[in-house]
Structure 1
Amino acid sequence: MASPINPEISNADLTTCPICLEQMKVPKCLPCLHSFCETCIVAYCEHFTAASGNQQTLECPVCRSVLNYTKPKGTSETLLVSPEKWVQTLPLNFLIVELLERKQFESTNKMCFSCERLGEKSGANNFCKDCGELLCEMCTKYHRANKLTATHNIHLFTELSRDELKNFKQCCNWHPGEMLKLYCCDHEIECCSLCVSVDHRRCATVKTIEIAAKDICQSDLPKNIKETLVCSKQKLKILRERFIEDSKKFEDQVLSIVEELNDFRRDIKTKVDIISDKLTAELTQFSENSERKYSTKVKELDDRIAVIDNELSIFTTVFEKASNVQIMATMKELGKKSPLHTTFTNHFTNTYFHSHLTSTVSKELDKINNALEKCMVSTVSQQCEFPLTCNLLPSVKLKLISEIKKEKRNNEACFSSNGYIFVADFYSKCIEVYSIDSTKLITLQLQYSPYDLASDGHGYIALLNDMDGSIEFLNENTLIIEQKLSINKNSDGISLNENFLVVRQEKTIECYDRLKGTLCTKVEGLPGLENSSYVHVNKKGFYFSCGDIIYFKTFPDLPEGESDSFIYTDHTFEGVEAVETDDKGNVYYSDYEADKIGLMSCDGSKSYAFDVHEELIRPMGLCLSKDQKYLLVTNDMGSTIYVYEIEKDGYLGVEADVSENVGAQLIGEIEKIKAIILSMVHVHGN
C-alpha cells in the first residue's frame, strides 16, 4: 500500500492535485477537507479497494483518515455504494473552482468561459460582472442579445480593478441562475432572494452576505479556529519529537546493554554465551517492536499535522483570495474540524508514556552462580507529567488614555462588570464612580474608610472595612449594600469571583466560600508574605506575590487533574505587588521596586515589561476590564490612577496574527509562523 503523500505538496498550491500533481479538474472534496481531481480519486478508490480487499472503507491519500463508502446524510438511504458513485456524491470544492477561475483571469492568455464549455478555444477580452465570466467578442454579442442577460454589466477586462475581479458571485444550488446575496442568521445558511422569500420569510434576522461575512471576520471565530489549529499543531509536534527522541534513546540503551553483555561474555564461558545470545535476541526483538511502535505513533502525528497544515492553508487562502460566500462556508467547515484536533491531541497527551530499558546484568555479576538464570531486560513505562499548553504570549502595548488624580494617597480602583471605574477613597470615606475617560459620575458616601475593593465580574463590588473586620457587597447598578461578611480585622487586600472570596492579611491568606461564609483554605508561613497586600482570583484559583516570587494556588475541591500549585519567578523581579490574569492565563504584574508593569506567559516561560516607565512611580494595584481591553494601574501609592488601553499586535515571536477588525488581514504568512513555532513552545515535566 502506498505511503501518505507528502503534505508539503498539497500545501504548496491548493489547486494542484496531490495524486496526479497537475492542476485539478473537477475538484472533489473529501470529508477530511483534502481535495483531488474527480478522475484521480475514483482511480485511487478502485486501486485501494483492489489492493486492500476492503469494499467498505477508504483511506485519504494524504492524511490516512478512514472514510466510509456511504451516501451522504439527508438522502433517503445510507447504504454502502460503489467508490465511483460515492465520489460522485462528494461536494465540489468551490474554493478551488474560484482559484482556478482566478488563475485564468490572471493568465496572459485569457480564454472565453462559454466557448470552453463547448470545447472550443477563443480569446477573451470582456468580463461579465453579474455572471463572473470572461467572454470573447462573439459571446459578448450573444450575451447582450439574450433576454435574460441583456442587462448584465459587461466591461473590458482591462477596465476592472483586482478588487472587482475578486468579488466572484456564487449561484444558489436550489434556484439556478439566482445569486447568493443574503444570509439567514437563524439557520446559518447563505440564501438567494428566492430562498428568503420562500423558505426564510419568517426568520428574524436576514443580512446581506457582505455584512454577514464582515461580522464573521470581526468575530472571535477566525481567531479561535486559528489558535486551535496552531495549538494543536504545536502539541502534536512536541509529541512527535518526544516519540523520535524516545526511539533514539531506546536504541542507545539497547546498544549499551549489548555492550554490557559482551563484557559479560568475555568473563564467563559456555553458559554465559548462551544467556548472552538469548538476551541479545530479546533486545533485537525489543528494538524491532519499539521501532514499529514509535514509527506508528510518529506516522499518526505526521498525518494529523498534515491535516492541520491543509486546514491552515485553506484558512489562509480563503481570507486572501476567496469570496465572502466561501469565507462563510469554509469557516463553518473548519469550525467543525478544530474540536476534533483538540480531542485527538488530548488523547495523545493523556496516553503518552515514556519508556526506557533496564538491565539487571551489572548487579548480578558478583552472584554469577545464582544470576545466570535471572539475567533479563525489560521495558518500564511511566506516564510523563508535562502540561502541553499553547503558550502564545500576546504582544501587547499599553496606551495611556486617561488618568484620575487624587489629592491624597491610599486609593484603590477596579473595573465594574459593566465597564465603569470604581475608586475607593480612603481619606474621604467614599466610593467614586468614573467613566473610562475619567469623568466622575457619582459619589457614594460611606461610614468608614474603604481599604480595598474588588469586582466579582457579575454585578457586585466587594468593599473591605479593615478596622471593623468586614466585607460589604455593593450592587453595581443600584449602589446598595446587599450582603455583609465578617472576616479578621486588619486585613490588607481582597479579590473574589462568584464562588470564592480571598482575603490577604499580614502573614496569611484566607480563602472563603462566598455563599456559605466559611473558611476553605489558608496559606501561611511563606517568606515575604508580609511584603504585599494584593491578591488576585480567577476561575481556578488565586495569585499572590511574595517579593520576587508570584505564587498560584488552586481552589479546594477542583476536579482531579486540575488541582495544582505553581511558582512564577523571573530574574527581573524586584518587588512584585499586584497580579492580574487574562482569559488565557497570562499574568500581568506590577513591580513596585522596579517601577514597571510586565506580562508573563501562563507557564512562566516568557515575559517582558511594558514601555511605560516615564509615567510610572511605584505602581501597585492592577485591574483588567471584563472585556480585557483596558488596564487600571494605581500609581504612586494610589495618588494617580492610570487608565491604559490594551493594544494587541500578534504574539511574542510571531510576525503575523489575526487582526481584531479587518477580516482581510486575519493572518500573515503562515510559513513564517511554522518556521518559528517550536521555539515558542516550552514544556515542563519529566
Structure 2
Amino acid sequence: MAVPGKKIPKTFSSSSTMGSDEDPNVYCQPCDRDGPRLPAHGYCVDCKEHLCETCFVVHKRHTLSRYHTLLDKNSMPQSISSVSVHPTQPDNFTKSCPKHTKEITKFYCQNHKTLLCSVCVTLEHTGTSCKVNYIPDISGQVINSKEHQDILKAMDNITEQCRKKTEDVKKNTAQSNNSLTDVLADIKKFRTEINQRLDELERQAEDAAKTIQKENNKNLKTVETTCNDVTKSLKTTSDTIKHLNTSKQADKLFMELKLAQQMIKDYEKSVHDLAAYDVKEYNFKENKAISTLLDKECSLGTFAEKSLKQPRPPPSVDIKSRQTSHQGKICVRTLKDKGICLISGMILLNPDLLIIIDSDNNAVKMVDTSSQSVTDQLQLDTWPWDVTSVTSTELAVSLLNKHNIQFISVSSNKLKKKQTLKVDGVCYGISYCQGKLAVSFVDPAKLQILDISGTILTTVKGENIFSRPLHVTTNTNSIYVSDYEKKTITRLNYQGEVIGSYSGMAQPQGITLSDDGTVFVCDRVRNVIEEIAGDCSTGKVVLKDLNAPFAVCWCAETCKLYFSCNTLQHNYDNFLQVFKLS
C-alpha cells in the first residue's frame, strides 16, 4: 500500500491494474503524477482520468476543460483498470511554441488557424473568444485527407512555377544580353561615321549597356537562388509530410500541414514578387542630329526597350456577383476645416491607415480606420486634388494651381511636406506604379507618364481620347483614366496606346482597382458605384442609391470599399462611407 504523502513513481500508468490486496481504492491520477496521493472524488469522461476534490473543481473552471463531461463519486468507474489510456502520448509533441519557446505546441485555434501552446491558450485564445482544440482530439482526420492532398498539390504547383520562372528568365536574359551585344555593334558602326570627339560618349554608351547586362545577370542570379531555395525547402517539407502520412503520425502530420500552409503563403508571395524582374530587349537608336550638333549633344543615343516578360493573362471579363453590407461611416471633418469637406482622392497605405485629400479645405488628412478618426492633418497653401503612394512612407499629391506634384512623408503617424516636382499643366489624377507616375491634365486634356524625377516618358493627348480626365489608377499592366465629360473609362498601356474603353456612364469620377483586376468607378449622377472588368469589356452596378459618390478606395485585405460624396451638404460630404463587398 502506498504511504500517504509519498510521491508515486512517474512511470505509473493509469492503465496499470492494482491488486485488490494492495490497494482497493481509486486515487486522483493527476496528483499521482507529481504530488500527494489523494482519493478520487470524481471522473472526467473526456480526459479518462479520476480526479480528487480539488482537481474536480478546477477541472470545471479551466478554459480547456470546462465543457468536459464529469462524473461524481457515485457514478465514476471504481477501478483504474477500467479506464483506457488516451491513444496519444506526450512524446508525440516536439515542436516548441514560437512565442513561448519553453512550451510545447499541443493545441489548435480554429478561429485564428494557428498552433498554440498552453500559455497561448490561457493568455490569448480563451474559451470565450476562440474555439480551441486539443490536437489529438482532431488530428486523426488529417491522414489521407483532402487537406493533406491539397497542400502537397500546392507545393508541387509552386515548385513548377519556380522551374518555369527560372527557364523563362534565363531565356529572356540570354536574348536581352544578345540584343545588347547587337546594340554595342551598332554603336561602334555609328561611331566610325563621326570624329574622335565621340570617344567619351562611346565609352558611356558601352558602360550603360554593360551595366544593364550586369543587372540582368544579377537579377537572374536572384531569381535562380530564390527559386532553388523555395524548391529545396518545399521538397524537404513535402518529404516530411509524405513520411508522416505514410507512418500515420497524425499529430506531427497535423502540425506540419498547418506550418506548410503558412510556408505556402510565404513562398507564393516570394514567387509572385519575382515578377518585378522585368527583363527588356534593347536596340540602339541613332542620334540623327549629332553630326551637326555635336557640341550640344551629351549622348550617342538611347536604348529602346521592349519587354520580354510574358504578358499576364487578361483579367476575366466575368464580374462575380457580390454581397454588400454597409459598415458605417467615418467623420473626416476637423476643427481646422473652414468649410464642407470635398474628398477628391484617397489611398490606403495599410488596412488601418487611409490618406485622403480634402480639396476645399486645402488639406491632406490621415485617417485611422480602426478608431474611425482623423489622426493628423497637413495644411497646404494651394488646392490639392489626388494622392498616390510612392512607397509605404512617401506620398505624391497633385496640386492644381501651382502645376506641381507635392511629395509628403509619412512617419510616426505624422504627415510632412518634402520636395515638389514641377509639371507642365493643370494636373488632376495621379497614380504610381513600378517607378512611373501616371498623371492626368486638363486645358489641354492629356495623360503623361513620368519617371520619379519628372522626366516625361510618354504623352497621350487628343480630343478623341480625353476631354476632362480627372482621376487615374494603375497596375503593372494598365493605366485606367476616368473622364467625366467623355463619360468613359479609358485603358492604356505604358506605351500610351489605348487598349480598351468602357462607356455608358453618366458622370464617372473616382476610380480604384480591386485585388482581382476589376475596376470600381463612382458615377456621381447615377448615384452608383459600378464594377468594370479589367479589359473594359463589361460592367455591373455593385452599389446603388448612393449620394453623389465621388472618390473611392478598395481594401483587399478587408474587402471594404471606402468612398466620399459630393453633394455640398454637411451630413454627406463630411463623411466617408464604408461598405463590405464579398
- Normalised-by-shorter TM-score class: 0.3 to 0.5
Q: Whose relative contact order is higher, 1 or 2, with alpha carbons under 8 Å and at least 6 apart?
A: 1
TM-score by length of 2: 0.47
Structure with more strand by fraction: 2
Structure with more helix by fraction: 1
TM-score by length of 1: 0.41
